[in-house]
Amino acid sequence: MVKTIFITGGAGFIGSHVIRRFATNYPDYKIINLDTLTYAGNLENIDDIASQPNYKFEKADISDFKAIERLFDLYKPDGVIHLAAESHVDRSITDPFVFVRTNVLGTCNLLYCAKELWRDNPEGKRFYHVSTDEVYGALEFDGTFFTEETKYAPHSPYSASKASSDHFVRAFHDTYGLPVVISNCSNNYGSHHFPEKLIPLAINNIKNNKPIPVYGKGENVRDWLFVEDHAAAIDIIFHRGKNGDTYNIGGNNEWKNIDLIRLLCDIMDRKLGRPQGESQKLITFVADRAGHDLRYAIDSSKLQRELGWAPSLTFEEGLEKTVDWYLANEKWIKNVTSGEYQDYYNKHYGQL
């Protein structure tokens, strides 16, 4: 039987890797990419699979109930993998409302349409909500990890909106019996990552000899995972995860921001033929982010034990691949950093 799957946010960073994986590995599925193409959405991210017969793009805003209802009526999907979101913490500090609209209301619209469509026949259906470890708040430097049982304690408008959407997903499961699954993943990195986030921003600035803005003292810790390993985890959880369950996904790969930036500088010096230590001169400490979470670290043992997932690359291998991709794709960076992004960058980093 042909399975029709909505993948929302498929023109974004992680969504494009999920689309590529599903369209390539499951030729019998019909993959519908539902994306409104905000500043972060770029169809160039998936132009390599755009002409595949099992793939189709639908431009739609998930916060527009009527538009979403029409698409559920038209395609009658068997599954939804929901990634569409406003995803940048700094933007959520400037404008929290669009985060509520897309991340909370948009998720609720999708849940409602799925509930209505699958009400009489939920067998074999699945609503997969892709979420973040940021819903758990922040850890101290005490060797503890976020588990699936960690209490929610979001601090930023971004993480509050994701936490809220997670609660709605569980509420639809508990109230209406909607077949759902949730995953909470740590920071991703890899190709097609919009250069407002730390790793692609640093690569781009190092390449262009521009200051690398490090918030505060650069002491904050993030747990980095290669984006294709996240896409692989989503594939496994979508097909084999237990209804109503949550799975944490992480790289077991904690880095202080400043150490990560220094490593990136060294890799870039080698790739660009600069003397070792040259790019580190670009490191510039700037005002800290408001409410900056100190440390994230994920315990992904449930996913590893129950579903057999594990990261496939070391961080060094993943970073090499990532840097190579950015160096080889100058046109992509030029396209996404022109226009609206320039205004954002100048407003945000004007102090440099």
Q: Which residues bind ligand TYD (CB under 6 A)?
A: 89, 187, 197-198, 201, 213-215, 220, 222, 257, 289
Residue of 58, 78, 86, 133 marked active site: 133
The closest of 276, 281, 283 to 258, measured between CA atoms, is 283
Instruction: Please choose, from the candidates 70, 35, 67, 71, the residue with its C-alpha nearest in 3D space to the C-alpha of residue 50.
Output: 35
Q: Least separation, in Å, of the C-beta of 51 and ligand NAD?
A: 19
For the CB of residue 180, give the shortest distance to ligand NAD in the complex, in Å: 15
Interaction of residue 132 with ligand NAD, rule CB under 6 A: yes
Q: How far is the CB of 285 from ligand TYD (least distance, A)?
A: 9
How far is it, in rounded angstroms, from Cα 279 to Cα 265? 5
Interface of this chain with ligand NAD, residues 21 to 60, rule: CB under 6 A? 35-38, 40-41
Tokens (6 digits) for 304: 């590893």
Tell me whether residue 57 or residue 215 sits nearer to ligand TYD (CB atom). Answer: 215
- Residue in 152, 164, 191, 158 with CA at minimum distance from that of residue 16: 191
Q: Per rule CB under 6 A, is residue 63 in the interface with ligand NAD?
A: yes
Q: What is the DSSP letter of 86?
A: -
**Applying CB under 6 A, does 251 fall inside the site for ligand NAD?**
no
Among 15, 77, 157, 213, binds ligand NAD (CB under 6 A): 15
CB of 160 or CB of 282, closer to ligand NAD: 160
Pick between residue 217 and residue 239 the one whose CB is nearest to ligand TYD.
217
Structure tokens that stand for 313 in this block: 């690359």
CA distance readout (Å), 306 to 157, 236, 301: 32, 11, 8
Q: Does 154 bind ligand NAD (CB under 6 A)?
A: no
69 is catalytic: no
Task: Let me know if 78 is a catalytic residue.
Answer: no
In the set 35, 58, 86, 134, the catalytic residue is 134
Judged by beta carbon, residue 39 or residue 215, the one nearer ligand TYD is 215
79 binds ligand NAD per the rule CB under 6 A: no
Least separation in angstroms between residue 167's CB and ligand TYD is: 20
DSSP 218: S
Query: With binding defined as CB under 6 A, does residue 311 bind ligand NAD?
Result: no
Choose from ligand NAD, ligand TYD, none: what does 85 bind? Cβ within 5-8 Å by kind.
ligand NAD
Secondary structure (3-state) at 212: strand
Total residues at interface with ligand NAD (CB under 6 A): 29
C-alpha 257/C-alpha 7 separation (Å) is 32
* Of 89, 337, 295, the residue nearest 207 (C-alpha): 337
Kind and range of the H or E run holding 269: helix 257-272
Q: How far is the CB of 272 from ligand NAD (least distance, A)?
A: 26
d(CA 132, CA 112): 22
In whole angstroms, how large is the CA radius of gyration of the chain?
Answer: 20
What is the DSSP pairing of strand 225-226 with strand 126-132? unpaired
Distance CA 35, CA 80 (A): 13
What's the first-to-final CA gap in the chain, in angstroms?
Answer: 56
> Residue 215 binds what, of ligand TYD, ligand NAD, none (CB under 5 to 8 Å, by partner type)?
ligand TYD
User: Cα 175 from chain centroid?
Assistant: 28
**CA–CA gap between residue 42 and residue 240 (Å, rounded):** 30
Residue 130 contacts which entry, ligand TYD, ligand NAD, none (Cβ below 5-8 A, type-dependent): ligand NAD
CB of 194 to ligand TYD, least distance (A): 10
- 306 flagged as catalytic: no
Partner from ligand TYD, ligand NAD, none binding residue 38, C-beta < 5-8 Å depending on class? ligand NAD
Residue type, 168: F
Q: Which of residues 177-196 bind ligand NAD (CB under 6 A)?
A: 185, 187-188, 194
Annotated catalytic sites, by residue? Answer: 133-134, 158
Binding residues vs ligand NAD (CB under 6 A): 9, 11-15, 35-38, 40-41, 61-63, 83-87, 102, 106, 130, 132, 162, 185, 187-188, 194
